[in-house]
Amino acid sequence: MTKMADNRSSVEIVEGCRLPVLRKNQEHEDEWPLAEILSVKEVSSRKLFYVHYIDFNKRLDEWVTGDRLDMKKLQFPKKEAKTPTKNGLPGSRPSSPEREVKRKVETVPLATQVPPATPVPSLPSSAEASQASVFPAVRETTTFKAREDHEQISSLTTNGTARRLIPPQPGRKRKANCGGTDEDSQDSSDGIPTAPRMTGSLVSDRSHDDIVTRMKNIECIELGRHRLKPWYFSPYPQELTALPILYLCEFCLKYLKSLKCLQRHLTKCNLRHPPGNEIYRKGTISFFEIDGRKNKTYSQNLCLLAKCFLDHKTLYYDTDPFLFYVMTEYDSKGFHIVGYFSKEKESTEDYNVACILTLPPYQRRGYGKLLIEFSYELSKVEGKTGTPEKPLSDLGLLSYRSYWSQTILEILMDLKPDNGERPQITINEISEITSVKKEDVISTLQYLNLINYYKGQYILTLSEDIVEGHERAMQKRHLRIDPKCLHFTPKDWSKRGKW
């Protein structure tokens, strides 16, 4: 039986209401997930409602008609406390949307919703590791080499052959959610989520109550031969957001309001590749390094485009402290942008990536992992270990977990016994070889459930399923970075004044 909202009832719906909404193109048409009304507008005497499906990614937000609303379960928004307090603490009256939008324009950043940072678990102490629930038992029976030396962990395969030895981290407390997702919370001792440091031309922000920035404002973007449907809000000029299609020059990323304007621009635009230096080329894949200060307009346009597909970031226009590494595919017409990542010129937290994005037409083709691998190749040349800025988006988290797992397993499986003895290695050595930060190595090992505790010793055990799964994954991974094709000389930005 179809649930419908009559015209009289739909008039009562206001912003903030919650009610079940019918989602189209679903296998089961009787699915009515709970949604929040973010905006209401009238077109040709017909009311439209912009809805956000609760517990669904914001990229699925959409405009719906009244006949897709279940008015029987309508929930009106709760009234806010009328007693204002300072600093916007709980119980205070929120500022009006108009005032909030005005403030955002003046201070440049635009707010988006941000989940807590992804937890980075650590190895437990000896006492804590004795709890069997922390590390699951391995299904197959293995033999272990007992050691009094707690500087390392034995790593064994199912047939008893040693792979690796990893050091424990004594004195560190165990954290929950070892394999948490992007939406998992990372709580401090007082129960307050830990906020990441705000850096990057696209930075994390926790002020997510601005309704304007919660709604997609661009209908369609034409970029070269591709038409992209944005997932999230991006602060393009307001007069362009009402257009059915926003046109971008695929080489300089300048935005234009019509196809005619784009054609006129292309007769004048001399670029056929991103500005900056080409520091890598193999086959049709190239990487260009772009200084956010020297090529400010291009960098800002790149951030505007990226914001259409990154939810957990807020746009800042000061690109001077950042480098942008743009990956392209070459053909007879030029170098076409595939994706990019940005990076701070100087990072006190060892961030080697601030923002990272593969454009939708190129996703699920291995380019995301190639971007990640390239960022670590740069870290290797710099002689540093690196980590991406947290929190990661849902897709970013999946890509990084996959890359870390494959990279670490590749090292574990390549070791050969030395003079009949089981090979040994420390976490620090794995980190130095891969340039993956030690905390990310530990969290990956725990996410894969490889660490066990046996007779006072940490054991890293590789099951047959893990080995076979890794070998299948590596057979499908055709795109790899060739360090011999990288021509990159790191700069000491601390000696360059204001860059």
3-state secondary structure the chain: CCCCCCHHHHCCCCCCCEEEECCCCCCCCCCCCEEEEEEEEEECCEEEEEEEECCCCHHHCEEEEHHHECHHHCECCCCCCCCCCHHHCCCCCCCCHHHHHHHHHHHCCCCCCCCCCCCCCCCCCHHHHCCCCCCCCCCCCCCCCCCCCCCCCEEEECCCCECCCCCCCCCCCCCCCCCCCCCCCCECCCCCECCCCCCCCEECCCCCCCCHHHCCCCCCEEECCEEECCCCCCCCCHHHHCCCCEEECCCCCCEECCHHHHHHHHCCCCCCCCCCEEEEEECCEEEEEEECCCCHHHHHHHHHHHHCCCCCCEECCCCCCEEEEEEEEEECCEEEEEEEEEEECCCCCCEEECEEEECHHHCCCCHHHHHHHHHHHHHHHHCCCEEECCCCCHHHHHHHHHHHHHHHHHHHHHCCCECCECCCCCHHHHHHHHCECHHHHHHHHHHCCCEEEECCEEEEEECHHHHHHHHHHHHHCCCCCCHHHECCCCCCHHHCCCC
pLDDT band at 203 (very low <50, low <70, confident <90, very high): low
Return the pLDDT at 164.
Answer: 36
Give residue-wise pLDDT tens across range 417-445: 777 677 777 888 899 999 999 999 999 99
In which band, very low, low, confident or very high, does the pLDDT at 460 lie, cut at 50, 70 and 90? confident
Beta carbons within 8 Å of 471's beta carbon, 6+ residues apart: none
Q: Which of 18-27, 54-63, 257-266 is the least confident region?
A: 18-27
Peptide bond into 33 cis (omega under 30): no
Q: How many CA atoms lie within 13 A of 169 on its CB side?
A: 16
Cα–Cα distance, 496 to 213 (Å, whole number)? 36
Angle at which helices 427-434 and 394-414 cross, to 10°: 110
Whole-number Å distance between alpha carbons of 300 and 254: 10
Query: Which pLDDT belongs to residue 335?
Result: 96
pLDDT score recorded for residue 11: 52
Amino acid code (one letter) for 77: P
Token pair in block for residue 331: 């053909």
Q: Which residues 6+ apart lie within 8 Å of 231 measured at CB?
A: 58, 59, 216, 308, 309, 311
> pTM of the full predicted structure?
0.71
Q: Hey, what are 390's tokens?
A: 């947290």
The whole-number pLDDT of residue 494 equals: 76
231 backbone dihedrals φ, ψ, rounded to 5°: -95, -30
Closest alpha carbon to 49 in 58, 36, 31: 36
413 with 470: CB under 8 angstroms? yes
Residue 54 near residue 70 (C-beta atoms within 8 A): no
Residue 280 burial by CB count (10 A; 0-12/13-18/19+): exposed, middle or buried? buried
Task: Work out the pLDDT band at 271, boundaries 50, 70, 90.
Answer: very high
pLDDT of 118-153, one tens digit each?
333 344 433 333 332 222 223 232 222 333 333 333
Distances (CA, A) of 135 to 65, 128, 307: 50, 11, 39
Model confidence at 167: pLDDT above 70: no
Active site residues: 389
Q: Quick check: 191 pLDDT over 50?
A: no
**pLDDT for residue 386 is more than 70:** yes
- Work out the mean pLDDT of the chain and round it to a whole number: 75
pLDDT at residue 497, rounded to an integer? 56
Residue 128 is encoded by which pair of tokens?
């804590």
Domains and CATH numbers, the chain: 7-73 (2.30.30.140), 126-182+402-462 (no CATH), 202-389+480-495 (3.40.630.30)
Burial track 238-277 (b if 16+ CB lie within 10 A, e otherwise): eeeeeeeebbbbbbbbbbbeeeeebeeeeeeeeeebbbbe
Query: pLDDT tens, 209-249?
Result: 477 788 899 999 999 999 999 999 999 999 999 899 999 99
Q: What is the pLDDT of residue 136?
A: 29
Write out the two tokens for 119: 């937890």
First to last CA, the chain: 65
% pLDDT > 70, the chain: 68
**Quick check: 106 pLDDT over 50?**
no
